[in-house]
């Protein structure tokens, strides 16, 4: 994301308007130039002096202020990103209909940059057919509309409609800005499933067999897919990270749990990306009580093989039928180390054939490689013989390349 991006932060009149102050702080503290454009009703929740003090810029809702600068046109024209948080049902309706009765709605009409809406409203309003139609219209036009979070709303109510946390909205905005020169929301209209984290196979109520996966790569894939317009289901195995904004998160523990959740979500998915580190084996016996140390040393642990979820997905994937646009794309991840028999890539090529997936992301792992780090390097192997090398960099960069490869296969299969 460029350090001098011009960001317009639109704020509409909902109780979640106070959270937008934190989003504003995220942008300004990372060096971005932000102009806050609230609606009149938003100022009933957070006043203009607050927005002016935090942004360092004057705040107005009216197209008649500073007329000589033509703000109703210039504000949108100069923006690299417009993000509306919270976006109320009323604001979404006006944006979908192209109404322009204040500075924010005029800005939305003149902006030619990426536009992100973060809706927040009561559950009944979010689920109303009118709101859903408006969201569909905005997405069809290329806007990113982040699905609201599920949680506590105003008063005692709870359900979908809660504004995602500002940090998570900010992360989506970073991904949108990172690709604004080269990508449109090219995953719009697609449902993608991503698995993340590492499964745990319990020995007893205390101990388990697990791995070092932090879930960072899977979460980067999910956030990037949201930023590129997809409907995202994230299957998270033992990940202690905030839910990515706009993704439906299903939390699981064991490989058996992960398998059931992935297969259910994959039934309606256009792509499945298995970034989770899945245990190949599990204990044959799970002890109901904590295993005691004893005096004769540890007892041997008998292991049995877990189901191969990736191979099962590849073998039972949805195939394009009448009215469908493409064949489901299945992507695997292979965390590999070289050995006396073969190097990392040779192991990866053999695994690609054995699993039957379309793409296999092969990355070398070790004590300071791959796991529990913000960066990653990989080679993406294709069943068609392609090999795409991704140099070491942020895991979000690898995520973009993975989605590029998925989108290319969608395009090829629809010809």
Range of lowest pLDDT (157-161, 184-188, 273-277, 362-366): 362-366
Q: From the candidates 134, 211, 289, 306, give the one annotated as an active-site residue.
A: 211
Rounded CA-CA distance 162/334 in Å is 36
How are strands ordered across the β-sheet holding 144-145? Answer: 33-38, 6-11, 81-87, 115-119, 144-145
In a domain, 142, yes or no: yes
In a domain, 1, yes or no: no
What is the pLDDT, as a whole number, of residue 413?
75
What is the pLDDT, as a whole number, of residue 111?
94
Domain total in the chain: 2
* 382 and 246 assigned to the same domain: yes
Does 16 have pLDDT greater than 70? yes
* 198 and 173 assigned to the same domain: no
Reported confidence tier of residue 369, pLDDT bands at 50, 70, 90: low
What is the pLDDT, as a whole number, of residue 319?
55
Strands 191-197 and 231-237 turn out to be parallel
Reported confidence tier of residue 375, pLDDT bands at 50, 70, 90: confident
* 318 and 252 assigned to the same domain: yes
Q: For the chain, give the percent of residues with pLDDT over 90.
A: 76
DSSP 8-class letter at 32: -
Strands 329-336 and 359-364 turn out to be parallel
In a domain, 183, yes or no: no
Residues 198-223 pLDDT 10s: 999 999 999 999 998 999 999 999 99
Does 178 have pLDDT greater than 60? yes
CB 73 within 8 A of CB 106: yes
Which H or E run includes 312? helix 309-316
Contacts of 274 (CB under 8 A, 6+ apart): 195, 262, 309, 310, 313, 330, 331, 332, 333
Contacts of 155 (CB under 8 A, 6+ apart): none
In a domain, 184, yes or no: no
CB 177 within 8 A of CB 114: yes
* 14 and 97 assigned to the same domain: yes
* 174 and 195 assigned to the same domain: no
pLDDT (average), residues 256-274 = 97
Range of lowest pLDDT (13-22, 293-302, 342-351): 293-302
Whole-angstrom Cα Rg for the chain: 24
| Annotated catalytic residue 134 | no
Does 153 have pLDDT greater than 90? no
What is the pLDDT, as a whole number, of residue 297?
73
Strands 329-336 and 191-197 turn out to be unpaired
In a domain, 116, yes or no: yes
CB 278 within 8 A of CB 264: no
* 392 and 296 assigned to the same domain: yes
CB 337 within 8 A of CB 290: no
Q: List residues bridging with 248 in a β-sheet.
A: 233
pLDDT (average), residues 93-117 = 95
Residues 310-352 pLDDT 10s: 999 999 886 544 344 457 999 999 988 777 777 889 999 999 9
In the chain, the N- to C-terminal Cα span, in Å, equals: 34
* 204 and 161 assigned to the same domain: no
What is the pLDDT, as a whole number, of residue 184?
72
99 by Cβ neighbours in 10 Å (0-12 / 13-18 / 19+) ranks as: middle
* 257 and 163 assigned to the same domain: no
What is the pLDDT, as a whole number, of residue 339?
76
Q: For residue 108, what is the domain's CATH number?
A: 3.40.50.1950
What is the pLDDT, as a whole number, of residue 72?
57
**Dihedral in degrees, nearest 10, Cα atoms 66, 86, 12, 50:** -60
- pTM of the predicted model, to two decimals? 0.89
Reported confidence tier of residue 1, pLDDT bands at 50, 70, 90: very low
Does 367 have pLDDT greater than 60? no
What is the pLDDT, as a whole number, of residue 74?
81
Which H or E run includes 402? helix 395-413
Dump the DSSP string for 319-377. Answer: ---TT--SPPEEEEEEEE---SS--HHHHHHHHHHHHT-SEEEEEE-BTTBSTTSSEEE
Residue 69's SS3 state is: helix
* 166 and 226 assigned to the same domain: no
CB 116 within 8 A of CB 82: yes
What is the pLDDT, as a whole number, of residue 324?
47
Q: What is the Cα 277 distance to its own chain's centre?
A: 18
Q: For residue 386, what is the domain's CATH number?
A: 3.40.50.10300
In a domain, 333, yes or no: yes
In 83-128, alpha helices (H): 89-97, 103-110, 123-127
Nearest to 91 by CA among 61, 66, 71, 65: 61
In a domain, 80, yes or no: yes
Which one has a higher pLDDT value, 64 or 115?
Answer: 115
pLDDT (average), residues 24-47 = 96
Does 157 have pLDDT greater than 90? no
Residue 292 structural domain: 191-413
Does 414 have pLDDT greater than 70? no
* 225 and 118 assigned to the same domain: no
What is the pLDDT, as a whole number, of residue 81?
96
* 156 and 217 assigned to the same domain: no
Nearest to 91 by CA among 123, 62, 126: 126
Range of lowest pLDDT (69-73, 133-137, 396-400, 407-411): 69-73
pLDDT (average), residues 362-372 = 68
From residue 247, give the alpha-carbon distance in Å to each of 172, 219, 257, 351.
11, 10, 19, 29
What is the pLDDT, as a whole number, of residue 63?
63
* 170 and 214 assigned to the same domain: no
Strands 329-336 and 149-152 turn out to be unpaired
Residue 40: CB atoms within 10 A of its CB come to 14
Residues 228-263 pLDDT 10s: 999 999 999 999 999 999 999 999 999 999 999 999
């Amino acid at each position: 994301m460029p350090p001098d991006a011009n960001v317009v932060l639109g704020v509409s009149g909902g109780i979640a308007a106070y959270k937008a102050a934190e989003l504003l702080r995220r942008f300004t503290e990372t060096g971005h130039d932000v102009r806050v454009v609230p609606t009149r009703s938003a100022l009933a929740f957070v006043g203009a002096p607050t927005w002016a003090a935090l942004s360092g810029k004057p705040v107005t809702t009216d197209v008649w202020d500073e007329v000589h600068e033509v703000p109703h046109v210039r504000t949108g024209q100069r923006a690299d990103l417009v993000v509306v948080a919270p976006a109320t049902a009323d604001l979404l309706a006006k944006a979908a209909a192209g109404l322009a009765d204040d500075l924010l709605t005029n800005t939305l009409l003149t902006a030619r940059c990426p536009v992100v809406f973060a809706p927040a409203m009561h559950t009944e309003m979010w689920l109303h057919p009118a709101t859903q139609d408006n969201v569909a219209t905005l997405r069809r036009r290329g806007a990113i509309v982040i699905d609201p979070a599920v949680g506590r709303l105003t008063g005692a109510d709870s359900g979908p409609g809660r504004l995602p946390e500002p940090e998570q909205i900010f992360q989506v905005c970073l991904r949108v800005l990172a690709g604004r020169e080269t990508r449109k929301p090219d995953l719009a209209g697609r449902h993608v499933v991503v698995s993340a984290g590492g499964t745990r196979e319990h020995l007893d109520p205390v101990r388990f067999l697990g791995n070092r996966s932090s879930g960072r790569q899977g979460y980067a894939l999910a956030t990037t897919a949201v930023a590129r317009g997809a409907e995202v289901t994230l299957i998270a195995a033992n990940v202690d990270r905030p839910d990515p904004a706009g993704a439906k998160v299903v939390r699981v523990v064991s490989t058996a749990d992960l398998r059931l959740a992935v297969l259910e979500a994959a039934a309606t998915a256009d792509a499945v990306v298995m970034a989770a580190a899945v245990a190949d084996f599990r204990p044959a016996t799970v002890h109901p009580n904590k295993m005691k140390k004893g005096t004769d040393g540890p007892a041997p642990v008998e292991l049995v093989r877990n189901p191969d979820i990736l191979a099962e997905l590849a073998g039972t994937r949805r195939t394009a039928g009448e009215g469908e646009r493409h064949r489901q794309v299945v992507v695997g991840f292979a965390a590999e180390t070289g050995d006396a028999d073969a190097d990392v890539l040779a192991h990866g090529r053999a695994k690609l054939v054995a699993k039957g997936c379309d793409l296999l992301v092969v990355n070398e792992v070790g004590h300071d490689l791959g796991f529990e780090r913000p960066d990653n390097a990989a080679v993406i192997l294709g069943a068609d013989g392609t090999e795409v090398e991704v140099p070491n960099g942020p895991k979000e960069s690898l995520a973009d390349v993975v989605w590029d490869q998925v989108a290319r296969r969608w395009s090829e299969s629809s010809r």
